[in-house]
Structure 1
Amino acid sequence: MMSLLASAAASLALAAQPAPPATEAPQLSLEQATGLRCGVAFALVAQGQQAGDPAALAYPAMNPRGKEFFVRFMAALMEDPRFSRDLVTSLAMRETQELARGGPEALSAVMPACLQLLDLSGL
């Protein structure tokens, strides 16, 4: 009976301990985070331009340069062995949601620096 109680107490003690932390997704470097944000911003502006949105049409045409930036950046990120295709896709979706949630002001805030990055990319 005592060993049964000791075993139950040990089981309860183990159950009360916090679970080990789940493996965290690798962190993006500043360059990667900036490229992701700009690539998504270019894609959102390109969609707006295609739909005739006046705010999006105020920016330089994103087709083909902005779209190409997005495609190349995403491909390079997926080639990084730390990032799976699913992780990259979820990061892009999260960034899209954040920028879309911020409305036109969010795009206005990032586009000047992103356009400079686009020019520096040589595309």
Structure 2
Amino acid sequence: MFSHFLASALVLSAAAQPAPLASGATGADLPIEQQTALRCATAIAIATERQRTGTAGNEDWPDLLENQRGREFFVRSFARLIDDTGLSREELALRGRAEAEALAADNAMLDAVMPPCLLMMRASGL
């Protein structure tokens, strides 16, 4: 179900075909706090999906499926980013797709960003 939410966001962004973004559509043009929120929301979504499907993942990660913690963190983070940046859902989904592709392609990168992202998730109360 969570994978359907992420896939829907990505499909929605592709279907909407908004005006092209300036270079740096990965979020690099965002302030560091928002770049981090985008990367962490995406990393948590990937890790949650991997736990759901039982594919490779770090055994040290907490159960992100419990009470839909991973999904809730992703949804709250994206909603806050939309509010804070003024970006549309479609624009943010394009940026999230770029982050997801980078993280999914490099397990070492995902492993490296997960500890601070898990701290961010815990600090959010989830």
TM-score for the superposition, normalised by structure 1: 0.72
**Does the alignment pair 1:120 with 2:96?**
no
Return the index of the structure with the highest Cα Rg. Answer: 1
Contact 1:49 1:57 in 2 (8 A): no
Query: Which structure 1 residue ranges, 5 or more long, are not aligned?
Result: 1-21
Is the 1:43–1:66 Cα contact (8 Å) retained in structure 2?
Answer: yes
Question: Which 4+ runs in 1 deviate beyond 6 A?
Answer: none
> Per-residue displacement from partner, 1:65-113 (whole Å, max 9, x unpaired)?
22111101111222246312211010000000010111x2111100111
The secondary structure found in structure 2 opposite 1:75 is helix
- Give the share of equivalent positions with the same residue, in percent: 38
Aligned CA-pair RMSD: 2.2
Q: Which runs of 5+ in 2 are unaligned?
A: 1-19
Greater RCO, 1 or 2 (C-alpha within 8 Å, sep 6+):
2
Query: Aligned residue pairs: how many?
Result: 101
Residues 52/93 of structure 1: CA separation in 2 closer, same or farther (3 Å cut): same
With over 3 angstroms needed to count, the CA separation of the structure-2 counterparts of 1:36 and 1:91, relative to structure 1, is same
Question: Which position in structure 2 is the counterpart of 1:97?
Answer: 101
Q: Aligned ranges for residues 1-123 of structure 1 at < 5 Å?
A: 24=22, 27-63=29-65, 64-80=68-84, 82-102=86-106, 104-123=107-126
| Equivalent residues of 2:58, 2:111 under 8 A apart | no
